[in-house]
Structures are given as C-alpha cells and as structure tokens.
Amino acid sequence: MALQCGIVGLPNVGKSTLFNCLSNAKAQSANFPFCTIDPNVGVISVPDERLIKLSEIDHPQRVIPATVEIVDIAGLVKGASKGEGLGNKFLANIRETDAIIHVLRCFDDDNVVHVDGSVNPVRDKEIIDAELQLKDLETVENRLNKVQKQAQTGGDKMAKKLVDILLQYKEVLEQGKPARIVKLNNKEEEQLAADLFLLTNKPVLYVCNVDENSALSGNPYVGQVKEAIKDEGADLLLLAAKTESEIAELEEYEERQLFLQEIGLEESGVVRLIKAAYHLLDLQTYFTTGADESRAWTFHRGQKAPQCAGIIHTDFEKGFIRAEVIKYEDYVRFGSETACREAGKIAIEGKEYIVQDGDILHFRFNV
C-alpha cells in the first residue's frame, strides 16, 4: 500500500533537514529501515511498540514493520500556480501525494536567511495556501464550465450533483480557504470530490520547526500558527529539526535515548512525525505473527476482513471464509496463539467484520 506524504514549505524552513533526518535510520529507533526510491522519495518504517513486543514473544525469523512513503517536494515561490520557478513540478508532485506535511519556520536564527527577509510562519503558510488555492480554483472553474452544460442539457443527475459540489468548492476557494473544509453528505459525493484531485482537499499536518528550547511547549510563533489553523481541521506538531539532526548523528540507540531524556522528550520528533503521517493518511495496523514472521500490515480505517485479507494476497480476499481474531492485549497477556485458544480468546469473524487497529489475524480461505 504505497501511500505518500509530501513535505512542503518555503526555502530555508527546514524541510530538507527534516527529510534527511527521516532518511537516517538511526534517527528513529534501534531498527527502523529507510530506503530511497529516487533522490527525494523515501520509504520509512512506522515505529510500533506492539510489533516489537510480538517479536519478543514469538522470536520470529523476520520482523517486518508497516511503512509510509515521504516525498521531499521542491521549494515553492510566489507565482507557482502560474508556473513561476519550479511551480508546475511542485504542484504536480503535490497532486500525486495522499497527504501534505507543511513545514513552517518558527525559530529565529540570523545565520539562516529567510527567503522573505523575516520570520513569519503565518505569512509563509498563506503564500503556499494561496498558490494551492489558485490552482484548485482554476481546476474547479474549468470543470464547472464543462459539467454545467451536461447538467443543463442532458438531465444527468450525477452531473447536477457534481455542479453543486463544484460551486461549494468555488465559494470557499474564492474566500481564501481550503477545499477540505467543505462538508460532503455521503460516500457518493466524496467519490465525486476525490476524482477532482484538488490540492487543498488533501489532509494536512502542520509541522512547526522550532528551536530546542521550544520543542516541548512552543513559542509565540507556534501560537500564531495555532490561531491561523483553528478552523481548518488540521493537526499540528512541534519539532526541532536542528536537534533532530544532532540526534541522527549519534551512533548508538541508547545514546539517542539518553539525549532525548536530557531535553525532556520521551521519543524523537522524527518518530512522532512518522506516526502522525501514518494517522494523517487514516491508516491502521493489523498483525500476523508466528515463528516465521511477525509483520505489521497497513489497512484503511473501516475496512472489513476480506479486504484486509486481500492486502496479503488477492486470493485471500477472493476465497475468504473467515478470520480468526486475537486482540493484541490478549496475545500479550497469554503469550501465544495456543494459550489464547485454550483461554477462549480467539474470535471467529465473517465477511462483515470491521478490522480493528491492533488485531492479530489469521485468515481462512479457499480458492
């Protein structure tokens, strides 16, 4: 399930430093790999303490974590929506991602020159927002011109619904707001909206890049960002990219943990970012575990058992019979599948079962 989060931001806000931290496996934990697809795309393992615990119980030959792709997208300048700078490439790269990690500079440093001459994260946010909104408005207006004719002449019900959706988007975009604040009524409308591939309809996580002293409680810049995004339905994360790069340079896992303790953090900002990106994509994890392999499988929240079986192999979904489900807490408590079975802690679920985060599953199928 190759889902991508794109890191965006103006030049010199810390997004490339952050991407480089993510690309260094030492930055996350004792054993979370990273591989490069091309110079600006990396596959990053999602830290999950549950998988580590399962591997300690079963001692498998292999341990395979869930992953998420992170894309370092080229810097943006004013006028990108009209093709200025790397504008067309920038916007095309965002369109291909499933979610956006928007890095904002929230620190003062005379040695790091800001592209606009001063530190103002809300202004920076508005620059990128404006370019994305202008491009979306162009998309909406072009589509509206075509669909309105179909709705008026052909009596096409779907065309009429799409016109209503497009008009809602047009209204909010003209107000300088993102498309994602539009509330749709049902799955049908959500699919029509998804087919528009609007840039500002993607879920977004704002990352405030702060100095080390502000990594825990923030600073006035962070307060300004919180106020600016309060109506967007977006998440916010504090992270000190410079500090993260220092953590990444430490050779031993224990050294990195000691460093974190000294600055009052339980886990690195990079780990928190990876977890946040995973949830931003509305992903959850189920597990398979045994002597051969303990593995985390990624699925979309709300998927049913046959769909989740199909993530392992399409034949599992086609010939799905049932799923044997053990809750993670029970597996840890009793210490094995056999012990869970003897304690009556294995549930037999059918095709309508909605898989829950942390479920340990064994699928029965017949092809």
Q: Under a CB-based contact definition with an 8 Å cutoff, are residues 75 and 19 in contact?
A: no
From start to end of 183-319, where are the E strands?
204-209, 235-239, 283-288, 293-300
Could you list the residues known to form a binding site for ATP, using ranges. Answer: 12-17
Could you list the residues known to form a binding site, using ranges. Answer: 12-17
Q: Under a CB-based contact definition with an 8 Å cutoff, are residues 124 and 104 in contact?
A: yes
User: In sequence order, which residues have a C-beta less than 8 Å from that of residue 175 and are 6 or more positions away?
Assistant: none
Q: CA-CA distance, 71 to 43, in Å (whole number)?
A: 9
Cα separations (Å) of 274 from 50, 66, 82, 160, 175? 16, 11, 32, 40, 32
From start to end of the chain, where are the E strands?
4-8, 34-38, 41-45, 62-64, 67-72, 99-105, 204-209, 235-239, 283-288, 293-300, 320-326, 347-349, 360-365
Q: CA-CA distance, 103 to 339, in Å (whole number)?
A: 47
Q: CA-CA distance, 99 to 281, in Å (whole number)?
A: 6
316, two tokens? 């599992």
Helix (H) or strand (E) holding 81: none
Supply the DSSP symbol for 357.
T
